[in-house]
Chains A and B, each alone.
Chain A
Amino acid sequence: MDNALKNLESSLETLTPRGLSDVGRENCHQLIDQLVSANEFPSDSLKQGAGSWKVTAAAAAVALGVGVSGGWFLGVDRTSSLPLEEEGSAGAENVVAFEHLDHETWILSTESPNVYVTKSGEIREISREVEVTEEVVQHRESGLVVTIETTDHHVVDTPKSDF
């Protein structure tokens, strides 16, 4: 390596990487404390602390799954068919125990549509779509983040209007 590059290397070494922000450091320290304590009392946690979140998470995942399949997060008004709060059940409490962080829906794959003719002579095209919905929720008490991914397979059958 020639001198110019060595000098450049030395100059680069004088640039200081930015450290963690105060908030970032505090968050990391809290996270470390949580990881240590979760590791320290695994058996107790199963009965009380972390265990409760696992049970709650599982219940919430079911509740959210019901919510998603019922169109809760998809903007469809299904409140009458999904009376979570009215029931006052554990499911509703579990959902309250979680903060909704993110929701994303995307089409994972599509295929070229197949064209067919119905008995009545109508020309239609049919294809399949895989829709993936990802919900990210955070357990308020433990701070742990749970990602729930659901996959729906749709058959899209539409009239073929043009060629």
Chain B
Amino acid sequence: MSVSGIDLGEAWREWLGESAPRLLSYARARCNDVHEAEDLLQDALIKLWGYQKERECRPPDLPLAFSVMRYLALDRGRRKGRREKRDRKIIQFQSGEDHWLDPTLEDAEESKLLRKEVEELPDKLREALTLKIWGGLTFAEIGSVLKISHNTAASRYRYALEQLQKKLNYLQIIKNG
């Protein structure tokens, strides 16, 4: 199908190719594993397609995509919370190697350490950091996605960096004895 000479399928695939790593990194920061994150991305695609019908089904802007991802992640978390009460009594699946930042592209010990510390940040700080660094959003856009002011978004981002820096300094001191 084409709108104004644009092949929609191709346009969306191209958009997905560019945006998927960013959106997935955000989804991974909010989900337990990569499969759940990819499911979330597919759910978001369906929602976004519905929203974009008013705009000739063109691929959406990134902030809108992040907003939809966030909404779906919250909804999923709410549903999952109920399930976990039941599931926790049965079994817990935990993969120690399931990281949302690609470990194959990092060799340096520092990078691995950094990745680990990012994953351990509190949710709100990690969310702001993820949207800024890997989502490529401005503070105003982050504020719009998270329904907070751009000042709060900037504060959370800075606080995340400061926490990371403190932790890395501490680990460095321990390492050097």
Contact = CB atoms under 8 A, between A and B. Distances in A.
Interface of A: 1, 4-5, 8-9, 11-21, 23-25, 27-29, 31-33, 35-37, 39-40, 104, 106
A18 B13 CA distance: 18
B49 A35 contact: yes
Contacts of A5: 158, 161-162, 165
Interface in B22-72: 22, 24-25, 28, 34, 38, 41-42, 45-46, 49, 53, 57
Nearest to A27: B42
A20 B100 CA distance: 11
Contacts, number: 111
B38 A32 contact: no
Interface stretch (B88-96, B102-110, B137-145): B102-110
A19 B24 contact: yes
Contacts of A16: 21, 101-102, 105-106
Chain B interface size, as a band, is: 35 or more
Interface of B: 1, 8-9, 12-13, 16, 20-22, 24-25, 28, 34, 38, 41-42, 45-46, 49, 53, 57, 79, 82-83, 99-102, 105-106, 110-111, 114-115, 118, 129, 133-134, 158, 161-162, 164-165, 168
- Majority SS at the chain A contact face: helix
19 contacts: A5-B158, A9-B133, A12-B118, A14-B106, A15-B106, A15-B111, A16-B102, A16-B106, A18-B28, A18-B34, A18-B102, A19-B24, A20-B38, A27-B38, A31-B45, A32-B12, A32-B16, A32-B45, A36-B9
